[in-house]
Structure 1
């Protein structure tokens, strides 16, 4: 990593192939994120959705007045209709394709960032995920790569990967979660994660000693290996290899949408062209060298990148010190840091600081007479016992994800859930379209709704072979009249 300040704005030809490849792979991740939203954004936050975005924006305006436009930066202040939401996701896909094929790269990256930031705020709780803010900051930093990779770009990407990995590890220690402390996390993780797939079932069957060793390996990979990012080349390569292997294992055992793919992408900047050219076809490599022009830095370009880069560093360090170090920020720095995170940069990452030791699943049922109950079937969350848990990477089924957060009965989560149930009681088509099966499709809305709570466990090899079931469950009661899941 370049640390001498006088080299920060000089473009490095040793990352010409790396930078080109990074932008193309980022385009594919952007495309998958926008396509995923295309099929669900209207049901989530459209005018007839679970949390209508227009209501949210009106509330922000009533509370803050004209400042709401600054604190909640989104294009949907102009139009919050279903058409506008759908158009934004389609536009995002189109600009992703332009970036993939190297057309209008900088303009495409700027518009992709603006569109995703707009959807991030419009999505409210449904887009308040670590991978959303990681894509925002990655996409923002990528804007400065279109004319080549310089020292400041490398520094900012290295810091982003370090923050993602190290702060996620640090959050596990600070949380004092007993499963991380006694190295039993993986004994529960594969079974209790939000949306397991069939690889999770096989991983759950592994011996206890391997779960313990794997938990220790995760902590080493997140607390020690990130410091290799700032050491000489062989250490950076080691950090990339370890991080990529961990991400591939997670993909093989978990559905975490595109966050693992994005983490692998960030590892590219721990490598360089000497490595990339070994795996890239020679014809493509020669084409890139002919078509890519490494530009000399301009004074306005240096100024913009320097100011924004410095702001990102200040915001990210300030927020980390506040959340993990208990540091009280002065009001101006506090306000500046919060504003930075509202604009998609400087977030604090904390992936799975606490581990659930029980899996509680909600089964929503409707009835006309209160006697004959019919279940709503979700797309991916565990429900049908003999159905193989599916892989949906990189798609992000946000309703299925959010249901996982309801059993602890946190008021922030039960609020949107009550809105969801209200829309089901009206048989609202935009909302029921988010489900795989609506038992009242094309019929009158149900007169009654209820929510049953079950404790789910993976079956073992013997039970699976005899019954064909991936899950077994035990009835706990009717929601919310059950003991909340903890945490």
Structure 2
């Protein structure tokens, strides 16, 4: 049996780090996004003074925020308490392996799910879905407790840990499959990366340099992305260990490049952490072979690995028509049509599910065999066999549910789903423990071909002008502002502004709330913007409007003579001029329940209110990404200090 005890422990501590980033990042934005004076107040989702029993409220919207009134808090303060509790628990799990146990991960998942339930449009992102599913799987993977002597590896560990491979496969495969299935010509022509670095939500500094790489090199890398995400993930289930480890290095290579060229929050850090599931304890603790004849096995394993990847390289050359030219450039062109890919996807989805099922079956058989044939006492073996069987049923259930969602990648597979499983899948769908391709994939169609659309909000005290721009902290605005490195912080307002630019303000009603908060000068919302240079001093403007621009990276040659990162051109009006007392605006916000009503909940717990307020006052003095990395560094220092003191 493959030992995964130390590998599992490393993975669980890594997930604690991701939870820490997620909770802290969200905590910093609660007043401006979800507070009583925020863009989308959470009190509209949780009516603490509403009628009905607590059980009825929990069944309607499962969230611990319903307990706010029992603690003498309102919804905003309760969100602060939930986020801080989640951050504290995840930090403790990060610095101490003893707290990486199932009850703690159940609490972490419950707390994040509770915030997710009221986050509305600001949490409808694939990294939130990915964290919820991975976090729930951690409840199965983590031990229930850790004794003073430490827990030994059990057969059920490998069964539970396998679920991360399956989740990771579905995520990576869906990302590329939906790009090709969307019929986007830029993906089908391998030209997508020529626009991607410029049009992604929050470009990183290296994204500018990547954008100016030669076209042939970007086309070649687009083809490699398809290979890395459509083919290599299938090797996660390959029985040969070296093949899986090689797949680990390939995926790490891809994720590191994504992190360095764009700000994708904690998503890619979560993927990197999940890739640990491809490894085992032997990867970290090499065992010397006692017999010289055992060298035959490593040699055979290496030959199999070379053969497998040689086949993949040969297939990639044929499918993407890779050709080396006389001037040492690589020509790339997709050698299949959309119809051929659609046919492949329709037939390949069941095959991928069968491969996953076979891999799970082998893992379960190996675990059950070792639970029976171990050298432990009979009662211990029977107990281990029973526990492994229970875990097998749990994992099998999750596999069946995920297979239903995964099959939605192709319409032809929806009819193959057993009718008996559909009602069960519908019941657990709201828990977000299993996600489908649409929840995982981003940008199936490349946007911003004619320029990166950006909304610039402007204010003025005179309807005739002059108009002054509002600067956001991270998204492009001033063409002279440098590109930021934000990850793993998730600036949700900046991200949502990118989504809003893809449509109209009628399709993004939260923009009207943002406009009103700026017109009334709500400090909670303006705190999410760049307040270094206050365009209107301490008073809000009388009028606000928004203009749509197209942004382009400054060409390579021009950048040598100027300091700008962007050039931009006006497209037109995004939304018209609004004032604070604009009747249609007030009426619209009233329907959205944004404006306060008479049922405002008062905070009666003065002690807890003062404590939460003091913490908020301290934290708000530190820049978000700096705070996240500082807390992470502090955790590393505590771990190192503890290890050194233990050695002494």
Q: What TM-score, normalized to structure 2?
A: 0.66
Residue 130 (structure 2) pairs with residue 141 (structure 1): no
Question: Structure 1 residues 154 and 469 mapped into 2: Cα distance closer, same or farther (>3 Å)?
Answer: same
Q: 2-side partners of 1:181 and 1:373: how far apart?
A: 43
Note if contact 2:505-2:575 (Cα within 8 Å) is conserved in structure 1. no
Task: Look up the match of 1:342.
Answer: 430
How is 1:109-258 mapped onto 2 (pairs within 5 angstroms)?
109-147=105-143, 148=153, 150-232=157-239, 233-258=241-266
How is 1:87-486 mapped onto 2 (pairs within 5 angstroms)?
87-100=81-94, 101-106=96-101, 107-147=103-143, 148=153, 150-232=157-239, 233-277=241-285, 302=388, 305-326=391-412, 327=414, 333-348=421-436, 349-356=440-447, 357=449, 358-370=451-463, 371-409=465-503, 413-437=507-531, 439=534, 443-480=538-575
Q: 1-side partners of 2:506 and 2:543: how far apart?
A: 25
**1:67 to partner: Cα distance:** 6.2
User: Which structure has the larger Rg?
Assistant: 2
**1:439 to partner: Cα distance:** 3.2
Note if contact 2:36-2:42 (Cα within 8 Å) is conserved in structure 1. yes
**1:270 to partner: Cα distance:** 0.7
SS in 2 for 1:404: helix
2:77 to 83, 96, 113: 83
Note if contact 1:221-1:243 (Cα within 8 Å) is conserved in structure 2. yes
Structure 2 residues not aligned, in runs of 5+: 69-73, 144-152, 288-375, 577-648
Task: Look up the match of 2:340.
Answer: none
Question: Structure 1 residues 24 and 66 mapped into 2: Cα distance closer, same or farther (>3 Å)?
Answer: closer
Question: Structure 1 residues 301 and 43 mapped into 2: Cα distance closer, same or farther (>3 Å)?
Answer: farther
**1:314 to partner: Cα distance:** 2.3
Task: Look up the match of 2:33.
Answer: 44
Note if contact 1:71-1:342 (Cα within 8 Å) is conserved in structure 2. no
CA offsets 1:362-383 (integer angstroms, 9 cap, x no match):
1101111121222111110011
Q: 2-side partners of 1:479 and 1:273: how far apart?
A: 56
**1:92 to partner: Cα distance:** 0.9
Q: 2-side partners of 1:336 and 1:151: how far apart?
A: 26
Structure 1 residues not aligned, in runs of 5+: 1-11, 280-293, 482-487
Task: Look up the match of 1:22.
Answer: 11
Question: Structure 1 residues 120 and 299 mapped into 2: Cα distance closer, same or farther (>3 Å)?
Answer: farther
SS in 2 for 1:435: coil
Q: 2-side partners of 1:136 and 1:463: how far apart?
A: 45
Note if contact 1:76-1:122 (Cα within 8 Å) is conserved in structure 2. no
SS in 1 for 2:547: strand
Q: 1-side partners of 2:421 and 2:43: how far apart?
A: 31
SS in 2 for 1:260: helix
SS in 2 for 1:403: helix
Q: 1-side partners of 2:136 and 2:278: how far apart?
A: 19
Q: 2-side partners of 1:448 and 1:436: how far apart?
A: 19
Question: Structure 1 residues 426 and 298 mapped into 2: Cα distance closer, same or farther (>3 Å)?
Answer: farther
Note if contact 1:197-1:391 (Cα within 8 Å) is conserved in structure 2. yes
Task: Look up the match of 1:284.
Answer: none
SS in 2 for 1:466: coil
Task: Look up the match of 1:8.
Answer: none
Note if contact 2:197-2:210 (Cα within 8 Å) is conserved in structure 1. yes
Q: 1-side partners of 2:389 and 2:522: how far apart?
A: 51
Q: 2-side partners of 1:99 and 1:196: how far apart?
A: 32
Deviates more, 1:363-372 or 1:339-348: 339-348
Deviates more, 1:107-116 or 1:416-425: 416-425
Q: 2-side partners of 1:337 and 1:58: how far apart?
A: 29
Note if contact 2:17-2:90 (Cα within 8 Å) is conserved in structure 1. yes
Question: Structure 1 residues 139 and 67 mapped into 2: Cα distance closer, same or farther (>3 Å)?
Answer: same
Q: 2-side partners of 1:216 and 1:312: how far apart?
A: 32
**1:155 to partner: Cα distance:** 2.4
**1:26 to partner: Cα distance:** 1.3
Note if contact 2:504-2:574 (Cα within 8 Å) is conserved in structure 1. no
Note if contact 1:98-1:108 (Cα within 8 Å) is conserved in structure 2. no
Note if contact 1:337-1:346 (Cα within 8 Å) is conserved in structure 2. no
**1:441 to partner: Cα distance:** 6.8
Question: Structure 1 residues 113 and 413 mapped into 2: Cα distance closer, same or farther (>3 Å)?
Answer: farther
SS in 2 for 1:220: helix
Task: Look up the match of 1:288.
Answer: none
CA offsets 1:274-307 (integer angstroms, 9 cap, x no match):
112369xxxxxxxxxxxxxx99866885576445
Note if contact 2:8-2:161 (Cα within 8 Å) is conserved in structure 1. no
Question: Structure 1 residues 313 and 350 mapped into 2: Cα distance closer, same or farther (>3 Å)?
Answer: same
**1:245 to partner: Cα distance:** 0.5
SS in 2 for 1:150: helix
**1:217 to partner: Cα distance:** 0.6
Question: Structure 1 residues 431 and 238 mapped into 2: Cα distance closer, same or farther (>3 Å)?
Answer: same
